Structure 1
Amino acid sequence: MQAEAWTPPPVLLTVDLVVLTLRKGRLCVLLVERAEDPFSGMQALPGGFLNNDREEILDGARRELQEETALDIGRVHLEQLAIYGAVDRDPRDRVVSVAHLAIVPDLPEPVAGTDAKAAAWVPVEEVLSGEIDLAFDHHRIVTDGVERARSRLEFTALATAFCTEPFTIAELQHVYETVWDTELDTRNFYRKVRAATGFVVPDDAGSKSTRGRPAQLYRVGPSSTLAPPLTRPPSSEKPMREGSA
Protein backbone atom coordinates (compact mmCIF):
# COMPACT_ATOMS: atom_id res chain seq x y z
CA MET A 1 0.00 0.00 0.00
CA GLN A 2 1.41 3.31 -1.06
CA ALA A 3 1.84 5.83 1.75
CA GLU A 4 0.01 9.10 1.42
CA ALA A 5 2.16 12.03 0.40
CA TRP A 6 2.99 14.34 3.29
CA THR A 7 1.30 17.73 3.09
CA PRO A 8 3.02 20.50 5.03
CA PRO A 9 0.74 22.39 7.44
CA PRO A 10 -0.27 25.90 6.33
CA VAL A 11 1.75 28.61 8.04
CA LEU A 12 1.40 32.32 7.25
CA LEU A 13 4.37 34.67 7.63
CA THR A 14 4.25 38.29 8.73
CA VAL A 15 6.71 41.02 9.67
CA ASP A 16 6.18 43.30 12.67
CA LEU A 17 8.16 46.44 13.43
CA VAL A 18 9.25 47.94 16.74
CA VAL A 19 10.09 51.46 15.54
CA LEU A 20 11.80 53.54 18.24
CA THR A 21 12.72 57.21 18.29
CA LEU A 22 13.21 60.05 20.76
CA ARG A 23 10.48 62.69 20.88
CA LYS A 24 10.32 65.56 23.36
CA GLY A 25 12.82 63.86 25.62
CA ARG A 26 11.02 60.49 25.72
CA LEU A 27 11.65 57.11 24.13
CA CYS A 28 8.64 56.43 21.90
CA VAL A 29 7.36 53.50 19.86
CA LEU A 30 5.21 53.67 16.74
CA LEU A 31 1.71 52.19 17.16
CA VAL A 32 -1.20 51.95 14.75
CA GLU A 33 -4.91 51.56 15.40
CA ARG A 34 -6.19 48.45 13.64
CA ALA A 35 -9.02 49.05 11.18
CA GLU A 36 -9.92 45.39 10.65
CA ASP A 37 -10.59 42.27 12.68
CA PRO A 38 -9.11 40.65 14.57
CA PHE A 39 -8.65 43.27 17.31
CA SER A 40 -10.29 46.06 15.30
CA GLY A 41 -9.83 49.38 17.10
CA MET A 42 -6.93 48.16 19.24
CA GLN A 43 -3.39 49.51 19.17
CA ALA A 44 -0.76 47.34 17.50
CA LEU A 45 2.68 47.42 15.97
CA PRO A 46 2.92 48.29 12.29
CA GLY A 47 3.47 45.30 10.04
CA GLY A 48 1.73 42.86 7.78
CA PHE A 49 1.93 39.75 5.64
CA LEU A 50 4.64 39.29 3.05
CA ASN A 51 3.49 40.39 -0.40
CA ASN A 52 4.08 37.01 -2.03
CA ASP A 53 6.14 33.85 -1.76
CA ARG A 54 9.09 35.57 -3.46
CA GLU A 55 9.41 38.64 -1.21
CA GLU A 56 12.42 38.38 1.10
CA ILE A 57 11.67 38.89 4.79
CA LEU A 58 13.97 41.91 5.16
CA ASP A 59 12.47 43.44 2.01
CA GLY A 60 9.02 42.96 3.53
CA ALA A 61 10.14 44.73 6.70
CA ARG A 62 11.57 47.64 4.69
CA ARG A 63 8.36 47.86 2.64
CA GLU A 64 6.11 47.88 5.71
CA LEU A 65 8.33 50.48 7.38
CA GLN A 66 8.17 52.75 4.37
CA GLU A 67 4.41 52.30 3.96
CA GLU A 68 3.73 53.03 7.63
CA THR A 69 6.13 55.97 8.11
CA ALA A 70 7.11 57.31 4.66
CA LEU A 71 10.71 57.26 5.88
CA ASP A 72 13.92 57.49 3.92
CA ILE A 73 14.95 53.86 4.41
CA GLY A 74 18.59 54.77 3.87
CA ARG A 75 18.64 56.59 7.24
CA VAL A 76 17.06 53.75 9.22
CA HIS A 77 18.84 51.26 11.45
CA LEU A 78 16.92 48.03 10.84
CA GLU A 79 17.72 44.64 12.39
CA GLN A 80 15.87 41.38 12.97
CA LEU A 81 14.67 41.13 16.55
CA ALA A 82 13.13 37.68 17.08
CA ILE A 83 10.65 35.15 15.70
CA TYR A 84 7.26 34.75 17.40
CA GLY A 85 5.33 31.60 16.59
CA ALA A 86 3.03 30.63 19.47
CA VAL A 87 0.17 28.51 18.13
CA ASP A 88 -2.56 30.82 19.46
CA ARG A 89 -0.91 34.21 18.85
CA ASP A 90 -3.29 35.02 15.97
CA PRO A 91 -6.95 33.87 16.06
CA ARG A 92 -7.18 33.77 12.24
CA ASP A 93 -4.71 30.97 11.56
CA ARG A 94 -1.22 29.72 12.34
CA VAL A 95 0.80 32.90 11.85
CA VAL A 96 4.52 33.30 12.51
CA SER A 97 5.94 36.80 12.84
CA VAL A 98 9.52 37.86 12.17
CA ALA A 99 9.83 41.02 14.25
CA HIS A 100 12.34 43.74 13.47
CA LEU A 101 13.76 46.66 15.44
CA ALA A 102 14.01 49.99 13.62
CA ILE A 103 15.65 53.17 14.92
CA VAL A 104 16.00 56.55 13.26
CA PRO A 105 16.31 60.14 14.55
CA ASP A 106 13.86 62.97 14.07
CA LEU A 107 10.98 60.87 12.78
CA PRO A 108 8.03 62.82 11.36
CA GLU A 109 4.43 62.42 12.41
CA PRO A 110 3.43 58.92 11.30
CA VAL A 111 1.01 58.17 8.48
CA ALA A 112 -1.47 55.31 8.91
CA GLY A 113 -1.08 52.43 6.48
CA THR A 114 -3.76 50.77 4.40
CA ASP A 115 -4.99 48.53 7.23
CA ALA A 116 -4.84 51.11 10.02
CA LYS A 117 -7.20 53.89 11.12
CA ALA A 118 -4.48 55.98 12.73
CA ALA A 119 -0.83 55.95 13.75
CA ALA A 120 0.92 57.69 16.64
CA TRP A 121 4.12 57.87 18.66
CA VAL A 122 3.53 56.52 22.16
CA PRO A 123 5.98 56.70 25.11
CA VAL A 124 7.30 53.20 25.71
CA GLU A 125 6.62 53.35 29.44
CA GLU A 126 2.88 53.54 28.69
CA VAL A 127 3.19 50.26 26.80
CA LEU A 128 5.58 48.46 29.14
CA SER A 129 3.46 49.35 32.18
CA GLY A 130 0.39 47.80 30.58
CA GLU A 131 -1.42 51.15 30.50
CA ILE A 132 -1.99 50.57 26.78
CA ASP A 133 -3.35 47.17 25.77
CA LEU A 134 -1.91 45.89 22.49
CA ALA A 135 -3.29 43.38 19.99
CA PHE A 136 -1.82 39.92 19.44
CA ASP A 137 1.41 39.38 21.41
CA HIS A 138 2.70 42.86 20.59
CA HIS A 139 3.26 43.82 24.24
CA ARG A 140 5.83 41.05 24.45
CA ILE A 141 7.44 42.13 21.17
CA VAL A 142 7.70 45.78 22.31
CA THR A 143 9.20 44.62 25.63
CA ASP A 144 11.80 42.55 23.81
CA GLY A 145 12.54 45.35 21.34
CA VAL A 146 13.11 47.97 24.02
CA GLU A 147 15.36 45.62 25.98
CA ARG A 148 17.32 44.84 22.80
CA ALA A 149 17.92 48.57 22.28
CA ARG A 150 18.90 49.08 25.92
CA SER A 151 21.35 46.19 25.96
CA ARG A 152 22.93 47.00 22.60
CA LEU A 153 23.71 50.54 23.77
CA GLU A 154 26.24 48.96 26.12
CA PHE A 155 28.31 47.10 23.53
CA THR A 156 27.59 48.71 20.15
CA ALA A 157 27.36 52.14 18.55
CA LEU A 158 23.56 51.84 18.29
CA ALA A 159 23.05 55.06 20.28
CA THR A 160 24.26 57.07 17.29
CA ALA A 161 21.25 55.79 15.29
CA PHE A 162 19.09 58.02 17.50
CA CYS A 163 21.19 61.11 16.63
CA THR A 164 21.21 63.47 13.69
CA GLU A 165 24.76 64.15 12.55
CA PRO A 166 26.67 66.07 13.62
CA PHE A 167 25.90 65.77 17.34
CA THR A 168 27.47 66.71 20.65
CA ILE A 169 28.51 64.40 23.47
CA ALA A 170 25.69 65.95 25.52
CA GLU A 171 23.16 64.92 22.86
CA LEU A 172 24.61 61.40 22.84
CA GLN A 173 24.36 61.29 26.64
CA HIS A 174 20.71 62.31 26.35
CA VAL A 175 20.12 59.23 24.19
CA TYR A 176 21.63 56.92 26.81
CA GLU A 177 19.73 58.55 29.66
CA THR A 178 16.42 58.42 27.81
CA VAL A 179 16.72 54.85 26.53
CA TRP A 180 18.10 53.54 29.83
CA ASP A 181 15.70 55.74 31.85
CA THR A 182 18.44 56.86 34.21
CA GLU A 183 20.77 59.80 34.89
CA LEU A 184 24.47 59.58 34.08
CA ASP A 185 27.43 61.52 35.40
CA THR A 186 28.47 63.91 32.63
CA ARG A 187 32.24 63.79 33.17
CA ASN A 188 32.28 60.01 33.53
CA PHE A 189 30.17 59.60 30.40
CA TYR A 190 32.43 61.91 28.37
CA ARG A 191 35.49 59.95 29.52
CA LYS A 192 33.94 56.60 28.55
CA VAL A 193 32.83 57.82 25.11
CA ARG A 194 36.30 59.16 24.32
CA ALA A 195 37.87 55.91 25.57
CA ALA A 196 35.76 53.76 23.21
CA THR A 197 37.99 53.58 20.14
CA GLY A 198 36.22 54.54 16.90
CA PHE A 199 32.85 55.19 18.59
CA VAL A 200 32.65 58.84 17.48
CA VAL A 201 34.99 61.13 15.54
CA PRO A 202 35.24 64.94 15.51
CA ASP A 203 33.22 66.66 12.82
CA ASP A 204 34.83 69.05 10.36
CA ALA A 205 32.34 71.75 11.36
CA GLY A 206 34.12 72.00 14.69
CA SER A 207 31.70 73.16 17.36
CA LYS A 208 28.36 74.81 17.98
CA SER A 209 27.38 77.43 20.52
CA THR A 210 25.56 76.40 23.67
CA ARG A 211 24.55 78.30 26.79
CA GLY A 212 28.07 77.66 28.06
CA ARG A 213 31.25 77.27 26.09
CA PRO A 214 31.12 76.00 22.48
CA ALA A 215 30.49 72.25 22.26
CA GLN A 216 32.57 70.01 20.00
CA LEU A 217 30.58 68.30 17.24
CA TYR A 218 31.00 64.62 16.38
CA ARG A 219 29.99 62.11 13.74
CA VAL A 220 29.54 58.34 13.78
CA GLY A 221 32.92 56.63 14.00
CA PRO A 222 34.18 53.59 12.06
CA SER A 223 33.64 51.05 14.86
CA SER A 224 30.27 49.32 15.31
CA THR A 225 31.28 47.82 18.67
CA LEU A 226 32.36 49.59 21.85
CA ALA A 227 35.68 48.66 23.42
CA PRO A 228 35.57 49.13 26.31
CA PRO A 229 31.75 48.93 26.60
CA LEU A 230 29.55 51.55 28.28
CA THR A 231 28.09 49.49 31.10
CA ARG A 232 24.46 50.11 32.00
CA PRO A 233 23.84 51.17 35.63
CA PRO A 234 22.23 48.28 37.57
CA SER A 235 19.17 50.37 38.48
CA SER A 236 18.27 50.77 34.79
CA GLU A 237 18.42 47.09 33.84
CA LYS A 238 15.05 45.85 32.62
CA PRO A 239 14.84 42.02 32.43
CA MET A 240 13.22 40.53 29.34
CA ARG A 241 9.98 38.63 29.72
CA GLU A 242 10.16 34.87 30.10
CA GLY A 243 9.90 32.90 26.89
CA SER A 244 11.28 35.55 24.54
CA ALA A 245 11.98 34.16 21.12
Structure 2
Amino acid sequence: MRGRPEAAVTLLSDHRGPVRCAAGEGSVYRQADDYDHGMPYDPSAFPPFAVTVDLVVLTVRRHALCALAVRRGEPPFQGRWALPGGFVRADEDLSQAAARELAEETGLRAHDPDAPAQDNGAHLEQLATYGDPKRDPRMRVVSVAHLALAPDLPAPRAGGDANSARWAPVEELLRQGGYGRDGEQAAPLAFDHAQILSDGVERARSKIEYSSLATAFCPTEFTVGELRRVYEAVWGVALDPRNFHRKVTGTPGFLVPTGGTTTRQGGRPAQLFRAGGATLLNPPMLRPEV
Protein backbone atom coordinates (compact mmCIF):
# COMPACT_ATOMS: atom_id res chain seq x y z
CA MET A 1 0.00 0.00 0.00
CA ARG A 2 1.00 3.60 -0.33
CA GLY A 3 3.10 5.11 2.39
CA ARG A 4 6.27 7.12 2.40
CA PRO A 5 7.99 7.02 -1.00
CA GLU A 6 10.81 4.51 -0.83
CA ALA A 7 12.42 5.73 -4.02
CA ALA A 8 12.09 8.63 -6.35
CA VAL A 9 13.01 8.18 -9.97
CA THR A 10 14.22 10.73 -12.48
CA LEU A 11 13.99 9.77 -16.13
CA LEU A 12 15.59 11.91 -18.79
CA SER A 13 17.09 11.61 -22.21
CA ASP A 14 20.00 13.28 -23.95
CA HIS A 15 22.21 12.67 -26.97
CA ARG A 16 23.53 9.47 -25.38
CA GLY A 17 20.06 7.93 -24.95
CA PRO A 18 17.91 7.45 -21.85
CA VAL A 19 19.44 7.92 -18.41
CA ARG A 20 17.96 6.58 -15.17
CA CYS A 21 18.63 8.04 -11.77
CA ALA A 22 16.98 6.86 -8.56
CA ALA A 23 17.15 9.12 -5.56
CA GLY A 24 15.96 8.34 -2.07
CA GLU A 25 17.01 9.46 1.39
CA GLY A 26 19.62 11.71 -0.15
CA SER A 27 21.40 9.01 -2.16
CA VAL A 28 21.89 8.99 -5.91
CA TYR A 29 22.46 5.99 -8.17
CA ARG A 30 24.19 6.88 -11.43
CA GLN A 31 24.90 4.93 -14.56
CA ALA A 32 28.49 4.41 -15.63
CA ASP A 33 28.19 6.89 -18.49
CA ASP A 34 26.83 9.76 -16.37
CA TYR A 35 30.11 11.53 -17.03
CA ASP A 36 30.92 12.02 -20.68
CA HIS A 37 33.30 14.39 -22.45
CA GLY A 38 34.03 16.11 -19.16
CA MET A 39 30.37 17.06 -18.68
CA PRO A 40 29.15 15.77 -15.29
CA TYR A 41 25.52 14.84 -14.78
CA ASP A 42 23.95 17.12 -12.19
CA PRO A 43 21.03 15.32 -10.49
CA SER A 44 19.87 18.54 -8.86
CA ALA A 45 18.96 19.86 -12.30
CA PHE A 46 16.16 17.32 -12.56
CA PRO A 47 13.59 17.20 -9.75
CA PRO A 48 12.94 13.62 -8.59
CA PHE A 49 9.54 12.00 -8.75
CA ALA A 50 8.06 8.83 -7.34
CA VAL A 51 6.82 5.80 -9.25
CA THR A 52 3.92 3.69 -8.03
CA VAL A 53 2.00 0.67 -9.24
CA ASP A 54 -1.80 0.74 -9.01
CA LEU A 55 -3.81 -2.44 -9.45
CA VAL A 56 -7.12 -2.96 -11.19
CA VAL A 57 -8.01 -6.35 -9.69
CA LEU A 58 -11.16 -7.73 -11.30
CA THR A 59 -13.20 -10.78 -10.40
CA VAL A 60 -16.76 -12.00 -10.90
CA ARG A 61 -18.85 -12.29 -7.73
CA ARG A 62 -22.57 -13.06 -7.64
CA HIS A 63 -22.70 -12.70 -11.45
CA ALA A 64 -21.33 -9.13 -11.31
CA LEU A 65 -17.96 -7.76 -12.38
CA CYS A 66 -16.25 -6.50 -9.23
CA ALA A 67 -13.03 -4.67 -8.47
CA LEU A 68 -10.93 -4.58 -5.33
CA ALA A 69 -11.28 -1.24 -3.56
CA VAL A 70 -9.57 0.03 -0.41
CA ARG A 71 -10.55 2.91 1.83
CA ARG A 72 -7.64 5.21 2.51
CA GLY A 73 -6.74 5.63 6.17
CA GLU A 74 -4.28 8.48 5.68
CA PRO A 75 -4.06 11.73 3.71
CA PRO A 76 -4.34 12.58 0.92
CA PHE A 77 -7.95 11.63 0.23
CA GLN A 78 -8.34 10.16 3.71
CA GLY A 79 -11.58 8.19 3.96
CA ARG A 80 -12.02 7.94 0.19
CA TRP A 81 -12.09 4.67 -1.72
CA ALA A 82 -9.21 3.92 -4.06
CA LEU A 83 -7.49 1.17 -6.00
CA PRO A 84 -4.82 -0.82 -4.17
CA GLY A 85 -1.21 -0.04 -4.95
CA GLY A 86 2.07 1.21 -3.60
CA PHE A 87 5.43 2.76 -4.30
CA VAL A 88 8.02 0.90 -6.33
CA ARG A 89 10.97 -0.05 -4.16
CA ALA A 90 14.53 0.79 -5.16
CA ASP A 91 15.48 -2.87 -5.63
CA GLU A 92 12.53 -4.06 -7.77
CA ASP A 93 11.29 -3.56 -11.29
CA LEU A 94 7.70 -2.71 -12.19
CA SER A 95 6.48 -6.28 -12.67
CA GLN A 96 8.00 -7.31 -9.34
CA ALA A 97 6.34 -4.38 -7.59
CA ALA A 98 2.96 -5.22 -9.13
CA ALA A 99 3.30 -8.90 -8.18
CA ARG A 100 4.25 -7.95 -4.61
CA GLU A 101 1.26 -5.64 -4.24
CA LEU A 102 -1.03 -8.31 -5.69
CA ALA A 103 0.25 -10.87 -3.19
CA GLU A 104 -0.12 -8.45 -0.28
CA GLU A 105 -3.68 -7.48 -1.23
CA THR A 106 -5.11 -10.82 -2.38
CA GLY A 107 -2.69 -13.57 -1.35
CA LEU A 108 -2.34 -14.51 -5.02
CA ARG A 109 0.84 -15.02 -6.96
CA ALA A 110 1.07 -13.69 -10.49
CA HIS A 111 1.24 -16.06 -13.44
CA ASP A 112 2.71 -15.60 -16.88
CA PRO A 113 0.53 -12.90 -18.50
CA ASP A 114 0.13 -15.05 -21.61
CA ALA A 115 -1.16 -18.08 -19.70
CA PRO A 116 -4.54 -18.68 -18.05
CA ALA A 117 -4.62 -18.28 -14.29
CA GLN A 118 -4.47 -21.61 -12.50
CA ASP A 119 -3.60 -23.02 -9.12
CA ASN A 120 -4.69 -20.02 -7.07
CA GLY A 121 -2.91 -17.60 -9.38
CA ALA A 122 -3.92 -14.54 -11.32
CA HIS A 123 -3.40 -13.08 -14.75
CA LEU A 124 -1.34 -9.89 -14.39
CA GLU A 125 -0.44 -7.48 -17.17
CA GLN A 126 0.68 -3.88 -17.46
CA LEU A 127 -2.23 -1.59 -18.31
CA ALA A 128 -1.04 1.98 -18.86
CA THR A 129 1.02 4.80 -17.37
CA TYR A 130 -0.56 7.86 -15.74
CA GLY A 131 1.59 10.95 -15.23
CA ASP A 132 -0.53 14.07 -14.80
CA PRO A 133 1.70 16.38 -12.71
CA LYS A 134 -1.24 17.16 -10.40
CA ARG A 135 -2.57 13.62 -9.94
CA ASP A 136 -1.06 13.37 -6.42
CA PRO A 137 -0.99 16.47 -4.16
CA ARG A 138 2.04 15.21 -2.20
CA MET A 139 4.60 15.29 -4.99
CA ARG A 140 5.05 14.33 -8.62
CA VAL A 141 3.98 10.68 -8.81
CA VAL A 142 3.82 8.58 -11.97
CA SER A 143 1.65 5.47 -11.75
CA VAL A 144 2.19 2.38 -13.87
CA ALA A 145 -1.17 0.64 -13.58
CA HIS A 146 -1.58 -3.12 -13.91
CA LEU A 147 -4.63 -5.27 -14.62
CA ALA A 148 -5.16 -8.47 -12.63
CA LEU A 149 -7.92 -11.04 -13.25
CA ALA A 150 -8.78 -13.88 -10.91
CA PRO A 151 -11.58 -16.29 -10.02
CA ASP A 152 -14.03 -15.43 -7.25
CA LEU A 153 -11.90 -14.59 -4.23
CA PRO A 154 -12.61 -14.39 -0.50
CA ALA A 155 -13.06 -11.11 1.34
CA PRO A 156 -9.87 -9.03 1.04
CA ARG A 157 -7.78 -7.79 3.93
CA ALA A 158 -6.75 -4.17 4.38
CA GLY A 159 -3.13 -3.25 4.87
CA GLY A 160 -0.67 -0.38 4.70
CA ASP A 161 -2.44 2.98 4.70
CA ALA A 162 -5.91 1.47 4.08
CA ASN A 163 -8.37 0.97 6.92
CA SER A 164 -10.74 -1.32 5.02
CA ALA A 165 -10.97 -3.24 1.75
CA ARG A 166 -13.80 -4.85 -0.17
CA TRP A 167 -14.96 -6.19 -3.50
CA ALA A 168 -17.32 -3.68 -5.07
CA PRO A 169 -19.31 -3.85 -8.30
CA VAL A 170 -17.54 -1.91 -11.03
CA GLU A 171 -20.80 -0.24 -11.99
CA GLU A 172 -21.07 1.25 -8.48
CA LEU A 173 -17.42 2.32 -8.29
CA LEU A 174 -17.71 4.21 -11.57
CA ARG A 175 -21.08 5.81 -10.80
CA GLN A 176 -21.08 9.49 -11.75
CA GLY A 177 -22.07 10.59 -8.27
CA GLY A 178 -19.22 8.68 -6.66
CA TYR A 179 -19.06 5.57 -4.50
CA GLY A 180 -20.07 5.07 -0.89
CA ARG A 181 -21.38 2.24 1.26
CA ASP A 182 -23.24 1.68 4.53
CA GLY A 183 -24.78 5.14 4.49
CA GLU A 184 -21.52 7.02 3.96
CA GLN A 185 -21.46 10.02 1.64
CA ALA A 186 -20.62 9.04 -1.92
CA ALA A 187 -17.43 10.47 -3.39
CA PRO A 188 -15.34 9.83 -6.50
CA LEU A 189 -12.44 7.41 -6.21
CA ALA A 190 -9.20 8.98 -4.96
CA PHE A 191 -6.54 10.36 -7.29
CA ASP A 192 -7.31 9.46 -10.93
CA HIS A 193 -8.36 5.94 -10.02
CA ALA A 194 -11.77 6.20 -11.68
CA GLN A 195 -10.02 6.69 -15.02
CA ILE A 196 -7.58 3.85 -14.31
CA LEU A 197 -10.44 1.53 -13.34
CA SER A 198 -12.44 2.48 -16.42
CA ASP A 199 -9.43 1.79 -18.64
CA GLY A 200 -8.85 -1.57 -16.96
CA VAL A 201 -12.46 -2.65 -17.40
CA GLU A 202 -12.41 -1.71 -21.08
CA ARG A 203 -9.16 -3.63 -21.54
CA ALA A 204 -10.77 -6.75 -20.05
CA ARG A 205 -13.93 -6.34 -22.13
CA SER A 206 -11.91 -6.00 -25.30
CA LYS A 207 -9.44 -8.81 -24.68
CA ILE A 208 -12.01 -11.50 -23.90
CA GLU A 209 -13.33 -10.98 -27.43
CA TYR A 210 -10.21 -12.24 -29.16
CA SER A 211 -8.27 -14.10 -26.46
CA SER A 212 -8.87 -16.87 -23.94
CA LEU A 213 -8.53 -14.39 -21.08
CA ALA A 214 -12.09 -15.01 -19.85
CA THR A 215 -10.89 -18.34 -18.44
CA ALA A 216 -8.74 -16.36 -15.97
CA PHE A 217 -11.98 -15.55 -14.12
CA CYS A 218 -12.82 -19.26 -13.79
CA PRO A 219 -11.56 -22.00 -11.48
CA THR A 220 -9.24 -24.61 -12.95
CA GLU A 221 -12.25 -26.71 -14.02
CA PHE A 222 -15.46 -24.98 -15.04
CA THR A 223 -18.65 -25.45 -16.99
CA VAL A 224 -19.69 -23.65 -20.16
CA GLY A 225 -22.45 -22.03 -18.13
CA GLU A 226 -19.93 -20.61 -15.67
CA LEU A 227 -17.82 -19.27 -18.53
CA ARG A 228 -20.92 -17.71 -20.11
CA ARG A 229 -21.71 -15.90 -16.86
CA VAL A 230 -18.17 -14.47 -16.92
CA TYR A 231 -18.77 -13.02 -20.38
CA GLU A 232 -22.16 -11.69 -19.30
CA ALA A 233 -20.69 -10.03 -16.20
CA VAL A 234 -17.73 -8.47 -18.00
CA TRP A 235 -19.68 -7.31 -21.04
CA GLY A 236 -22.82 -6.41 -19.10
CA VAL A 237 -25.15 -8.21 -21.52
CA ALA A 238 -27.19 -11.42 -21.55
CA LEU A 239 -26.05 -14.12 -24.00
CA ASP A 240 -28.04 -16.93 -25.57
CA PRO A 241 -26.90 -20.14 -23.79
CA ARG A 242 -27.14 -22.46 -26.80
CA ASN A 243 -25.40 -20.09 -29.18
CA PHE A 244 -22.66 -19.44 -26.64
CA HIS A 245 -22.12 -23.17 -26.05
CA ARG A 246 -21.79 -23.75 -29.78
CA LYS A 247 -19.26 -20.94 -30.18
CA VAL A 248 -16.93 -21.77 -27.29
CA THR A 249 -16.89 -25.52 -27.84
CA GLY A 250 -16.36 -25.02 -31.57
CA THR A 251 -13.41 -22.63 -31.24
CA PRO A 252 -10.16 -24.60 -31.68
CA GLY A 253 -7.99 -24.70 -28.57
CA PHE A 254 -10.33 -22.64 -26.41
CA LEU A 255 -11.70 -25.37 -24.12
CA VAL A 256 -10.63 -28.92 -23.34
CA PRO A 257 -13.07 -31.43 -21.77
CA THR A 258 -11.79 -32.86 -18.49
CA GLY A 259 -14.03 -35.93 -18.62
CA GLY A 260 -15.77 -34.94 -15.41
CA THR A 261 -19.15 -33.46 -14.56
CA THR A 262 -20.57 -31.33 -11.78
CA THR A 263 -23.95 -30.47 -10.25
CA ARG A 264 -22.74 -27.43 -8.32
CA GLN A 265 -24.98 -25.15 -10.40
CA GLY A 266 -28.03 -27.32 -9.75
CA GLY A 267 -29.99 -29.37 -12.25
CA ARG A 268 -28.50 -32.07 -14.43
CA PRO A 269 -24.76 -32.82 -14.32
CA ALA A 270 -22.82 -30.37 -16.50
CA GLN A 271 -19.65 -31.22 -18.37
CA LEU A 272 -16.42 -29.78 -16.98
CA PHE A 273 -13.77 -28.07 -19.09
CA ARG A 274 -10.38 -26.48 -18.57
CA ALA A 275 -8.63 -23.77 -20.56
CA GLY A 276 -7.05 -25.01 -23.76
CA GLY A 277 -3.73 -24.02 -25.22
CA ALA A 278 -4.99 -21.27 -27.50
CA THR A 279 -4.25 -17.70 -26.46
CA LEU A 280 -5.97 -16.09 -29.46
CA LEU A 281 -9.47 -17.12 -30.50
CA ASN A 282 -10.25 -17.80 -34.14
CA PRO A 283 -13.00 -16.95 -34.78
CA PRO A 284 -13.23 -14.31 -32.02
CA MET A 285 -16.10 -13.89 -29.59
CA LEU A 286 -17.79 -10.71 -30.78
CA ARG A 287 -19.16 -8.42 -28.10
CA PRO A 288 -22.85 -7.62 -28.69
CA GLU A 289 -23.71 -3.97 -29.19
CA VAL A 290 -25.54 -2.50 -26.23
Q: Same fold (TM over 0.5)?
A: yes
Structure 2 counterpart of 1:66: 103
Change (3 A) 1:230 1:92: same
Q: What is the CA-CA distance between 1:68 and the residue it aligns to?
A: 1.6
Cα contact 2:99–2:109 (8 A) shared by 1: no
Change (3 A) 1:62 1:72: closer
Which secondary structure state, in structure 2, belongs to the residue aligned with residue 76 of structure 1?
A: strand
Counterpart-to-counterpart distance in 1, 2:220 and 2:110? 16
Which secondary structure state, in structure 1, belongs to the residue aligned with residue 215 of structure 2?
A: helix
Structure 2 counterpart of 1:82: 128
Structure 2 counterpart of 1:26: 64
Q: What is the CA-CA distance between 1:26 and the residue it aligns to?
A: 1.1
Instruction: Give ranges in structure 2 of 5+ residues lacking alignment.
Output: 1-37, 112-120, 180-187
Structure 2 counterpart of 1:126: 172
Matched, 1:93 2:139: yes
Alignment equivalent of 1:208, drawn from 250, 258, 262: 262
Q: What is the CA-CA distance between 1:60 and the residue it aligns to?
A: 0.4
Q: What is the CA-CA distance between 1:5 and the residue it aligns to?
A: 4.9
Cα contact 1:195–1:228 (8 A) shared by 2: no
Aligned 1:100-179 pairs, distance under 5 A: 100-130=146-176, 131-132=178-179, 133-179=188-234
Q: What is the CA-CA distance between 1:207 and the residue it aligns to?
A: 1.8
Counterpart-to-counterpart distance in 2, 1:167 and 1:3? 62
Q: What is the CA-CA distance between 1:156 and the residue it aligns to?
A: 0.6
Counterpart-to-counterpart distance in 2, 1:140 and 1:90? 14
Larger-gyration structure (1/2): 2
Counterpart amino acid of residue 129 in structure 1? R
What's the TM-score once normalised by structure 2's chain length? 0.76
Structure 2 counterpart of 1:39: 77
Cα contact 2:102–2:109 (8 A) shared by 1: no
Counterpart-to-counterpart distance in 1, 2:228 and 2:40? 63
Instruction: Give ranges in structure 1 of 5+ residues lacking alignment.
Output: 236-245
Counterpart amino acid of residue 208 in structure 1? T
Counterpart-to-counterpart distance in 2, 1:4 and 1:37? 38
Counterpart-to-counterpart distance in 2, 1:164 and 1:194? 18
Counterpart-to-counterpart distance in 2, 1:3 and 1:166? 61
Counterpart-to-counterpart distance in 2, 1:154 and 1:15? 26
Q: Give deviations 1:37-64, integer Å, cap 9, x for gaps.
A: 1111111100010122x21111101111
Please tell me the root mean square deviation across aligned C-alpha atoms, in Å: 1.7
Counterpart-to-counterpart distance in 2, 1:4 and 1:215? 70
Q: What is the CA-CA distance between 1:72 and the residue it aligns to?
A: 4.3
Structure with the larger RCO, 1 or 2 (CA within 8 Å, 6+ apart): 1
Structure 2 counterpart of 1:242: none
